[in-house]
Amino acid sequence: MIDAASGPGCRRVRPSQEAALLGSATPRSSARRAAVAVVSAALLPPLLGATAPAAPPGGTARLQGAFAAAAAAYHVPRSVLLGVSYLQSRWDTHGGAPSVAGGYGPMHLTDVRTAMARAGAARGRPLSPPVGTAPDDSRLPARLTTLTRAAALTGIPARRLRTDPAANIAGGAALLAAAQRRLGRPLSAEPAAWYGAVAAFSGADDHASAVSYADDVFEVMREGERRVDDAGQTVALGAQPRLRPDTARPSRAGLHGPVTSGPNGTQCPRVLSCAWVPAPYERTGPDDYGNHDLGERPLSGSIRYIVVHDTEGRWDDVLRLVQDPTYVSWNYTVRSTDGQVAQHVRTEDVAWHAGNWYVNATSVGIEHEGFLAAPDAWYTEAMYRSSARLVRYLAARYHVPLDRQHVLGHDDVPGPTASSVPGMHTDPGPYWDWRHYFELLGRPFHRTASRRGGVVTILPDYTANRPAYTGCAAAGEPCAVHGSGEVRLYSRPDAASPLIGDIGLHPGGEDSTTDVNDLGSRVSTGQRYAVAGRRGGWTAIWYLGQKAWFRGPRGRRVAVDGSGLVVTPRPGRTNVPVYGRAYPEEKAYPAGVPVQPISPLPYRMPAGQRYVVGDEVPGEYFYATTYARDTHRVVTGEDRYYEIQFGHRVAFVRAADVRVVPSTAPVP
């Protein structure tokens, strides 16, 4: 999440002061309210609680039949239509609710003006600017108005295209056929002839993004897919392993070349189109500067983590914010409609994005256009795929392991000090699909051991797993029912028992809640925990110094067994401290660099408990307090730390305090 609290009109402080980074650490719901004055209507989430679509008859095959009917009516190969829809929405209908980019239905037909207007109305507050002064379609990018064009081509009213999946699929077929005609191509029955039309359908602004999109569609067609969508319907696309598209046509679609402007280019894989939109490194006052620090990573300083954020704002407004030197920064932003990437801070430099200076200094931050507390404002497949390509590239370049203790959500980043814990960010939140994301990264989660392995990996079925949340639109109000990658924890193997408490998040002793921003009693897909016990269909794990219990909804499996290394307090220790940063010991600091306190978090690891090891790291501190680079230093100590999965967030323990042992199942 971008740092609304440090935006224009708010006091700025240097990143070397931990408080500067903590200024960004505002819970999602309050941060979104604070940001409205900064980003105006762009921060209003899309429509929630949309009217359910009027689905065509035909039982579980009705969506599959709608693809066949639209393909026949508009002379588009059915496999092309299914492949494009999979890239648009993975065949989900989302109950007629729009995506982050204002796209509707299985074909993700965009009508951003309607989506924004209804979002404001759904919350009882007017848009700013008012709807009457919002840009008309002629002033919006074509990628945001495809539903209007589909209505003109088909004669189907826009309302039906938004809410009726069959009509939406027909609209998508009409757009594909129109693109094929513009390229001077016949409406061929051969899927290979449609590569150019698919590239044009992407709505991308440039050749590289369009080609990448078309390549993905044809990969899906070659490999085939079968999936149960969010309405419970099975949709299938048969594999065509010998399919080889005619790739000569995108150049005739009026697309630009790759956007790679900037003095030194961008640091992206060649298959992505990356724009250079620099965050300014400049003075903002006599003793202040913004909005990042220059560095020499990995030659000096480490890159160990990649942090996934969501923007809580729309593309154009977010890009304006990152170019403000009084704001904060992050390394990349990924656009929702087509997955285009913008780079703002080079990876050797340190962006101010995570709310924890140690993590900032050792990570790359990637923002994704989206809203945490708008479950039906769904993240698009194009964005997931572009992000996964970028993360694979960064992970290979900097040797970052592709697991959930190195590819972190902003909500996995620990508070650096006890006082900072309640204000840490909670994005990308429970509606980010980590399971699918890691499949795209080529590192799917799966069972790796028997029940005797002593470790579980959280792995619910995203679509079927629908825990109740509150607080998306207003405090205490239920959120829209939606798929989620998170699982709730209880103090006993009983869903009527209290939720697990978090003394750091609730220092006054308040109970954990089901609020969408309350991480006190939740685990997330891909996170790994040591097993503390089993009872019936319940599993206990060690979590925040406590035994926490979970069970799949209606008995479904929500975790798989595994094994690995775990840490436990050394013999003779009743408990050991837990830290939010891995800083060096005092004697490691050279003259001129102030010693940073090694202050523990409000948690302890009791004797007998075990926590999964993510990494072993040295104490490290990046000293940067002035605009002049000649004062910057990277201090590395001799003390070692283990990064562990301690609660929802990761944490650190000193190697001298713990011993590392292989995981084993607990004794019954």
Q: What is the CATH number of the domain that holds 504?
A: 3.40.80.10
Q: Do 67 and 32 lie in a common domain?
A: no
Residue 579 covered by a domain: no
Domain presence at residue 276:
yes
Tokens describing residue 513: 């809640």
Crossing angle, helix 78-89 and helix 381-398, to 10 degrees? 70
Residue 641 lies in a domain: no
Q: Choose among 544, 546, 471: nearest CA to 505.
A: 544
Task: Indicate whether 464 belongs to any domain.
Answer: yes
Q: Are residues 381 and 484 in the same domain?
A: yes
Is 23 a domain residue? yes
| Domain boundary residue, one of 222, 252, 282 | 252
Nearest 5°: CA angle at 361, between 356 and 367?
70
Residue 170 and residue 82 share a domain: yes
Alpha helix positions (H), 345-410: 357-361, 381-398
217, two tokens? 């569609």
CA–CA dist 427, 486 (Å, integer): 13
272 and 244 in a common domain:
no
Which of 203, 234, 252 terminates a domain? The answer is 252
DSSP string, 414-456: PPSSGGGGGG----S-TTS-HHHHHHHTT------S-GGG-EE
Q: For residues 200 and 112, state if they share a domain.
A: yes
Distance from C-alpha of 436 to C-alpha of 441, rounded to nearest angstrom = 9
CA dist 413 and 27 (Å) reads 13
Please tell me whether residue 172 adopts helix, strand or coil conformation: helix
CA distances (Å), origin 37, targets 2, 150, 471: 14, 35, 21
Do 148 and 18 fall within a single domain? Answer: no
- Are residues 366 and 227 both part of a single domain? no
CATH number of the structural domain spanning residue 145: 1.10.530
**CB of 228 within 8 A of CB of 234?**
yes
CB-based contacts of 595: which residues, under 8 Å, 6+ apart? Answer: 586, 589
Q: Is residue 535, in this structure, part of any structural domain at all?
A: yes
Q: How many structural domains does the chain have?
A: 2
- Quick one: 236 and 356 in the same domain? no
Is residue 272 located within the same domain as residue 337? yes
Residue numbers in the chain where pLDDT is lower than 50? 3-59, 120-134, 254-264
Angstrom CA distances, 455 to 461, 565, 654, stand at 19, 9, 22
DSSP class of residue 600 equals E
- 638: part of which helix (H) or strand (E)? strand 633-645
Length in residues, the chain: 668
Residue 652 lies in a domain: no
Considering the domain architecture, whether residues 266 and 236 belong to the same structural domain is answered as no
Q: Is 609 among the domain residues?
A: no
Tell me whether strands 546-550 and 538-543 are parallel, antiparallel or unpaired: antiparallel
Domain limits at 224? 59-252
